[in-house]
Amino acid sequence: MNISEELTEAYIKTHYIVLHEKQFTLRIGKRSNNLLEIFKEQGVNRGAFVTACNPYSRIVSPEINTKLLSELYSILSNDYMVISGIAKDPESKWPLEKSFMVLGISMEDAMNIGRSFNQNALVWCGMNTIPKLLILTEQNF
């Protein structure tokens, strides 16, 4: 399944807010010194910003999203440090989505988890802490 150019643009414009002690926002293509600090503190060099909400970008009930997030957290928290987050559309066309910043996860594992929760995309950060949008259903940007 391919996603539309409009949806891809919405993902790129989204503000990925990490609810750490010092809350900060990840933006696609823009280096994050705050994330670099966390990487150094935790001894990791990679991470992903993921959600389980609204599979395939189809809005579902808050109850379903809560259940999906709980399942995702249970999987992630066994192996990784997980920080709560929120994906926020700056144009308010999409509802806020509760999410997680997952420290130390490999790109492959993040993509597999995203796909298992029927997500179209996730945000990946390597050692350079420049967030990259990974489309799980087609090419990456």
Domain boundaries, the chain: 5-135
Tokens of 41: 């503190």
The contacts of residue 124 (CB under 8 Å, 6+ apart) are 46, 47, 48, 107, 110, 131, 132, 133, 134
Instruction: Identify the pLDDT of residue 2.
Output: 76
Instruction: Identify the pLDDT of residue 138.
Output: 56
Question: Of the ranges 4-8, 25-29, 109-113, which one carries the lowest mean pLDDT score?
Answer: 4-8
CB 103 within 8 A of CB 42: yes
Instruction: Identify the pLDDT of residue 140.
Output: 42
Give residue 46's identity as a one-letter amino acid code: R
User: Taking the complete model, does pTM exceed 0.85, yes or no?
Assistant: yes
For residue range 86-124, what is the model confidence (pLDDT) as tens digits? 999 999 988 999 999 999 999 999 999 999 999 999 999
Q: What is the CA radius of gyration of the chain?
A: 14
For residue range 28-73, what is the model confidence (pLDDT) as tens digits? 999 999 999 999 999 999 999 999 999 999 999 999 999 999 999 9
